């Protein structure tokens, strides 16, 4: 039932019906949030009579979103650092999307209270409020704040005992090198779309290839069909790896950044494999015209 809600478009009749089924199930278990959902769904009525109910529910939800589902996270909602680093989108008392900006975290005396970026992110991800979390963006591959229990996002995700039911993930902002671990990806069995943004600084090509090889392990990311690899100055080894990777066989959309003629030649040499993509994007490239024409012939778009 949770999958049915996450899989439907926001605002569609199917999503409303999926929420209704979920509310009925929660009510049957005696869960108080089921009553909240039921009233919230009835308030979707377009009649003028429902307008005051909708207004009251909106006000309550803005005031106490955390408290609808998770009292533990409610306490953290009062911590200034959480509001500073986390943009959370709520729907009917649940977090549906989250943008975590750990680089904006300011330590000051937060270590004394245990409010480091990794712990705040862990609290959000571990919350029952995140049951419906569909999309998560984290701006770093690693945590550098004093007092952090986890050095990297990979280590944090590997610490969860249960898989995280997310379909869309973006990691990094180009300030760090790429850090991909099998233990991290194993926690994301429902992931459909993955975007990795990293710096090539400090990475040798062989090291980058080793990181990318993790993505191709056959038991990892079984649902993945969309992949973006924005590795600054590292597009050629990305192209080289994917040209021979079994991962390419199940992708439907692919974006690679910073490819030169070297990478273009590698892609064209495997043109049949890349031509099967529904959408193939190359961005911020340094490719001469002959290779641009050859890539366009197999369906690549540029920007």
Average pLDDT, 10 consecutive residues per value, the chain (303 residues): 77 86 90 81 78 74 60 67 80 85 74 77 84 89 84 88 88 86 88 89 69 85 93 85 90 95 95 95 94 96 91
Q: What is the pLDDT at residue 290?
A: 95
Tell me which residue has tokens 């007092």. 147
Between strands 94-100 and 86-91, the pairing is antiparallel
Q: What is the pLDDT at residue 170?
A: 95
Q: What is the pLDDT at residue 169?
A: 93
SS3 39: helix
What pTM, to 2 d.p., does this model score? 0.83
Sheet holding 135-138, edge to edge: 86-91, 94-100, 135-138, 168-171, 193-199, 226-232, 253-257, 279-283, 300-302
Q: What is the pLDDT at residue 66?
A: 54
d(CA 281, CA 173) in angstroms, rounded, equals 19
């Amino acid at each position: 039932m949770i999958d049915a809600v996450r899989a439907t478009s926001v605002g569609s009749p199917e999503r409303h019906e999926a929420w209704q089924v979920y509310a009925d199930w929660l009510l049957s278990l005696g869960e108080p949030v089921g009553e909240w959902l039921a009233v919230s769904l009835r308030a979707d009525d377009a009649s003028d009579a429902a307008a005051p109910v909708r207004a009251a529910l909106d006000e309550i939800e803005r005031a106490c979103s955390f408290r609808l589902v998770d009292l533990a996270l409610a306490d953290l909602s009062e911590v200034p650092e959480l509001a500073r680093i986390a943009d959370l989108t709520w729907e009917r008392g649940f977090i549906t999307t989250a943008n975590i900006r750990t680089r904006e975290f300011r330590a000051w005396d937060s270590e004394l209270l245990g409010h480091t970026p990794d712990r705040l992110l862990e609290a959000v991800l571990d919350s029952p409020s995140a049951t419906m979390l569909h999309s998560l963006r984290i701006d770093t591959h690693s945590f550098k704040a004093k007092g952090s229990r986890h050095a990297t996002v990979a280590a944090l995700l590997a610490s969860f005992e249960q898989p995280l039911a997310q379909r869309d993930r973006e990691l990094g902002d180009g300030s760090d090198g790429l850090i991909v671990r099998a233990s991290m990806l194993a926690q994301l069995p429902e992931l459909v779309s993955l975007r990795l943004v990293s710096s090539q600084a400090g990475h040798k090509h062989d090291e980058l290839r080793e990181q990318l090889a993790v993505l191709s392990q056959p038991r990892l990311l079984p649902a993945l069909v969309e992949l973006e690899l924005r590795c600054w100055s590292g597009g050629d080894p990305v192209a080289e790896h994917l040209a021979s990777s079994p991962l390419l066989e199940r992708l439907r959309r692919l974006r690679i950044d910073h490819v030169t003629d070297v990478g273009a030649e590698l892609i064209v040499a495997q043109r049949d494999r890349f031509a099967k993509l529904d959408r193939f994007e190359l961005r911020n490239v340094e490719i001469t015209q002959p290779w641009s024409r050859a890539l366009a012939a197999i369906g690549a778009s540029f920007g």
